[in-house]
Amino acid sequence: MIVIARHGRPALDRHVWINAEQYQDWWAQYDAGGLTAGQKVPNALMQALMACKIVVSSSLRRALETAELAAPGRDLIIDPRFVEAPLPPPPLPSFILFKPRFWGIISRIGWFLGYHRDQESRAEAEIRAQGAADWLIEQAQTFGSVGLLAHGWFNRMMRPYLIARGWVCVYDGRDAHWSHRIYRPKPD
């Protein structure tokens, strides 16, 4: 079994109006930042992780804090291969202001189309996602089960590689904060 979860709700304010350069700074703060205090971990996620022999977390703070809350007292494997794919904003004039959520959408579209601002490209992230999915499968085959606490887009990027290698999603909690999916090998 492989459990793949998205981190909890981050503390950074998403209701500010910022330009492209400010969004790049905002994203750096987002990557360095933690979770909003006082969140309740969904019981289904805690139960799924308790069933896992090993628990893995992205090395970003929001994932680590999620792991501490969702898998309390567990030893963690902290692995930077599971960090989020970058979101470099397109070079728009400084008078154009959007909220971070919209910057994220247009940045992801630009990244998908090849704009990566000397950060990890889509092709490089796809290779990383394929390797990460392979590693999760190896861990699940070795230990019987593995739980991962990581990030929405990168989790989504691993999905087709898991499916291509014969794993099926048996529980789909979608992509919101604190959500998770459970994968199992396809029955013969």
Angle at 123 between CA 121 and CA 126, to 5 degrees: 110
Averaged pLDDT for residues 139-161 = 98
> pLDDT tens digit string along 80-107?
999 999 999 999 999 999 999 999 999 9
For residues 65-93, give the mean pLDDT. 96
Task: Give the phi and the psi of residue 146 in degrees, each rounded to 5.
Answer: -145, 140
Query: What is the residue-averaged pLDDT of the chain?
Result: 97
pLDDT at 188 over 80: no
The encoded tokens of residue 34 equal 């933690």
CB count in 10 Å sphere of residue 33: 16
Written as one letter, the residue type at 67 is A
Backbone angles phi, psi at 24, to 5 degrees: -60, -40
Q: Which residues of 128-140 are buried (b: 16+ CB within 10 A; e: fewer)?
A: bbbebbebbbebb
Mean pLDDT for 47-55 is 98
Cα–Cα–Cα angle for 87, 158, 182, rounded to 5 degrees = 120
